[in-house]
Amino acid sequence: MNNFRTYLLIFLLFPLSFFAEDGSQLWLRFPNVKKGISADKIISKGKNPTLEIAKKELTTYWQGQMIELRTEKSLKHLKDGYIIKSNSDKIIISAGKENGLLYGVYHILRLQQTKSDVNHLNITEKPSYDVRILNHWDNLDGSVERGYAGKSLWKWEDLPNKISPRYEEYARANASIGINSVVLNNVNASPNMLRTDYLQKVKVLANIFRPYGIKVYLSVNFSSPKVLGRLENSDPLNKNVQNWWKDKTSEIYKLIPDFGGFLVKANSEGQPGPQDYGRTHADGANMMADVLKPFGGIVMWRAFVYSPSKEDRAKQAYLEFLPLDGKFKDNVIVQIKNGPIDFQPREPFNPLFGALKKTSEMAEFQITQEYLGFSNHLVFLAPLFKETLESDTYADGKGSTVAKITDGSLRNNKITAIAGVANIGEDTNWTGNIFAQANWYAFGRLAWNHELSSEQIVNEWLKMTFTDNQKFVNPVKEMMLSSRETAVDYMMPLGLHHIFAFDHHYGPEPWGNIQGGRPDWMPVYYHKADENGVGFDRTKSGSNAVSQYFSPLNNTFGNIETCPENLLLWFHHVPWSYQMKDGKTLWEELCFKYDSGVKNVREYQKIWDKMEPYVDAERFKQVQSKLKIQSKDAVWWKDACLLYFQTFSKMPIPYNIERPV
Ligand code: GCU
């Protein structure tokens, strides 16, 4: 009897948990679970684990016509791409390899889920980048640097024996949006990552990810030979050191034959690197490149370098890397943060893009919201990613956008890649905020096709994650599309940057100026407010960072009249009474921007409250409570910044702006 009750309870509860609306299903909410087409309606040749996954997705979720999956040698040039052709009787997906077929299957499932036409398809897709990679900043102790979705997904203590079902769910989610590579561990890497027992664990993850087309990479600590191998040093020109890396690399490839390569943060923020031995970044990167080369591995060498010095931090990476152009081996790619400082709500693009003419370059974006309200604030990042990608560097003349510089369409790049610092953790909803899932989604979709518009991405994501009801999609879409600009307004409008509270980077601290602390970590270093005005003079009369941009940008940015107003205080120290384009003084404009940021968030709250009929109660409440926090934080930012800056401007807050309390 007891058993019967238990079974009854499980039977009754199972559907509930299966359809749990806790966000765990991400965007993968294909309709009518377990009612796909029968296996005999799928035509395919050969046996391959990736193909098996593609077929399983179809038999579980595809409800349309019969499908043929074909690999064709002649389509190898599409790399992971595919061709889909259809009529109402049949769909043919063809690709150079099985990964392409799997991506094609996710494509048609997406069309089905968003209720798009699937009967007249004639699509050719080829990814913008070869390597579409997530960088996890996960530590071996289970913590995640700048992670706001709980602890790490990787359970190092349990591996290699106990395997969480989430590893495969994670791989599937990535595959569904075209992500094909992951760095498992923090760029501030522990040498232990390369210990044999850890590599055994990595192997298990690599085996799970492989059929989903995903390769594993590791962040490595430059001092590993010394710390782990007990060598006398880690000098890249020392033969023993070179041999250590060679042996370690062979060991890795024995375990993981398709291992992707290394990501390296060297001589940056206290991390060890080749400069410790008087060598250059190129010496360090090339040593690793040499040992990876026979296996087809690559080195992603980060350009995020700066140190406390008289030189403007925004100029330092360029100064350090430019002289090394042409000195890197061809399996090295320099990984450059989108902006020259550090993932701020708004930065100009990093001047290194395009400036390195003989070196492969890739962009690094931050999906995790270190500087954008953690997982509390709703900030949709596709517009930020696209702003950088679409920026024209003028490096090879007009039209040399960051996207084209990095995707190989302008230059003959040996490797093309794009990285996003993951926002994923063990939280049930993966990202700590349901709307942060959209940023994971957006990164993957843009890595696949950087020409997609933010609006297209939002449309897809909303319809897949919630509903296709236009009464829901339209207002929520507006909210998402404006959310990044809103965050800029209530945090750091007009080009202000890095005025965050020290270290944790959540709230405002424009007054931050710890005595004896590193000046380049202090907010006052960045805003330079005084009685005359506010902003960092990066023109010729100041740090001359503008000179690192190609003509005509150096002049456009360098001239206060032509500098885009959204970057004004990034490049100029501007008098409080300076007249802005709309006729307001700078001070009034600042007040107005902070205030409109706050008002927009309140507007989002109202929009969301009206969405209750279209969303399940659980997700509705989660989002509602997050927006409440965001709204309070926006006021906190506005009040703190305006009251602080007012001590310099000594000007009144305009009458139509909400008074700080
Ligand atoms: C930021 C971040 C650090 C991180 C660093 C990096 O400075 O705050 O936590 O390690 O970027 O990208 O290396």
Pocket probe mutation, ligand 1, options 136, 139, 265, 269, max atoms within 8 Å of Cβ: 269
CA nearest to 464, candidates 490, 438, 430, 483? 438
Span from the CA of 228 to the centroid of ligand 1 (angstroms): 24
Q: Which atom of ligand 1 is nearest to the CA of 265?
A: 13
Whether the CB of 377 sits within 6 Å of ligand 1: no
Give bridge partners of residue 392 from the DSSP assignment: 401
Span from the CA of 609 to the centroid of ligand 1 (angstroms): 36
Pocket probe mutation, ligand 1, options 268, 304, 371, max atoms within 8 Å of Cβ: 304
Residue-level pLDDT at 32: 59
Where helices occur in 178-322 by DSSP H, the ranges are 196-209, 224-227, 239-255, 281-292, 313-321
The answer to whether residue 329 scores a pLDDT higher than 50 is: yes
Whether the CB of 265 sits within 6 Å of ligand 1: yes
Instruction: Enter the DSSP assignment of 657.
Output: S
SS3 call for 181: strand
Active-site choice (57, 370, 537, 595): 370
Residue-level pLDDT at 16: 41
SS3 call for 215: strand
CATH 3.20.20.120 holds for 25-125: no
Residue-level pLDDT at 90: 98
Q: Round to whole Å and give the CA distance between 15 and 232.
A: 60
The answer to whether residue 18 scores a pLDDT higher than 80 is: no
Average confidence score pLDDT of the chain: 96
SS3 call for 173: helix
Q: Which atom of ligand 1 is nearest to the CA of 268?
A: 13
CA nearest to 605, candidates 374, 378, 375, 370? 378
Largest CA distance in the chain: 86
Provide the pLDDT confidence category of residue 34 given band limits of 50, 70 and 90: low
Whether the CB of 146 sits within 6 Å of ligand 1: yes
- The encoded tokens of residue 265 equal 């943060």
Which of 71-75, 164-168, 177-181, 307-311 shows the lowest mean pLDDT across its residues? 307-311
Sort residue 95 into left (φ over 0), alpha (ψ -120 to 50) or beta.
beta
Sort residue 150 into left (φ over 0), alpha (ψ -120 to 50) or beta.
left
Count the residues in the chain: 661
Provide the pLDDT confidence category of residue 166 given band limits of 50, 70 and 90: very high
Pocket probe mutation, ligand 1, options 342, 347, 365, 368, max atoms within 8 Å of Cβ: 342
Residue-level pLDDT at 604: 98
Residues 571 and 498: beta-carbon distance below 8 Å = no
Residues 524 and 576: beta-carbon distance below 8 Å = no
Provide the pLDDT confidence category of residue 4 given band limits of 50, 70 and 90: low
Residue-level pLDDT at 30: 79
Q: Round to whole Å and give the CA distance between 129 and 260.
A: 15
More confident residue, 519 or 225: 225
Q: Which atom of ligand 1 is nearest to the CA of 145?
A: 9
Active site residue 342: yes
CB-count exposure of residue 518 (10 Å: 0-12, 13-18, 19+): exposed
291-306: average pLDDT: 98
Span from the CA of 506 to the centroid of ligand 1 (angstroms): 14
Span from the CA of 320 to the centroid of ligand 1 (angstroms): 18
Share of the chain above pLDDT 70, in %: 97
Give per-residue pLDDT as tens, 213-227.
999 999 999 999 999
Residue-level pLDDT at 33: 59
CATH topology of domain 488-536+573-649: Alpha-d-glucuronidase, C-terminal Domain (3.90.1330)
Q: Which atom of ligand 1 is nearest to the CA of 187?
A: 13
Residues 84 and 108: beta-carbon distance below 8 Å = yes
The answer to whether residue 652 scores a pLDDT higher than 80 is: yes
Pocket probe mutation, ligand 1, options 139, 143, 146, 505, max atoms within 8 Å of Cβ: 146
Whether the CB of 520 sits within 6 Å of ligand 1: no
The answer to whether residue 14 scores a pLDDT higher than 90 is: no
Residues 340 and 318: beta-carbon distance below 8 Å = yes
CA distances from 503 to 183, 497, 499, 509 (A): 24, 14, 11, 11
Residue-level pLDDT at 10: 46
Residue-level pLDDT at 435: 98
CA distances from 147 to 296, 366, 368, 430 (A): 31, 11, 7, 11
The answer to whether residue 8 scores a pLDDT higher than 70 is: no
Whether the CB of 449 sits within 6 Å of ligand 1: no
Whether the CB of 187 sits within 6 Å of ligand 1: yes
Active-site choice (138, 276, 342, 509): 342
Q: Round to whole Å and give the CA distance between 331 and 352.
A: 19
Whether the CB of 586 sits within 6 Å of ligand 1: no
Q: Where are the domains of the chain?
A: 25-125, 131-453, 488-536+573-649
Span from the CA of 373 to the centroid of ligand 1 (angstroms): 16
Where helices occur in 256-312 by DSSP H, the ranges are 281-292
Span from the CA of 304 to the centroid of ligand 1 (angstroms): 9
Atom 13 of ligand 1: nearest residue by CA position: 187
Residue-level pLDDT at 5: 57
Strand 66-71, strand 42-44: pairing: parallel
DSSP assignment string, 374-433: TTTS----HHHHHHHHT-B--BTBTT-BHHHHHHSSSS--S--EEEEE----SSTTSSSS
Q: Which CATH superfamily is domain 131-453 in?
A: Glycosidases (3.20.20.80)
- The encoded tokens of residue 166 equal 């989430």
Which of 143-147, 518-522, 562-566 shows the lowest mean pLDDT across its residues? 518-522
Question: What pTM does this model have?
Answer: 0.97
Q: Which atom of ligand 1 is nearest to the CA of 364?
A: 12
Give per-residue pLDDT as tens, 438-470.
999 999 999 999 999 999 999 999 999 999 999
Active-site choice (141, 157, 197, 269): 269
Provide the pLDDT confidence category of residue 495 given band limits of 50, 70 and 90: very high
Active site residue 269: yes
Give per-residue pLDDT as tens, 341-394.
999 999 999 999 999 999 999 999 999 999 999 999 999 999 999 999 999 999
Predicted complex ipTM: 0.99
Q: Which atom of ligand 1 is nearest to the CA of 186?
A: 10
Residues 423 and 367: beta-carbon distance below 8 Å = yes
Active site residue 370: yes
Span from the CA of 186 to the centroid of ligand 1 (angstroms): 10
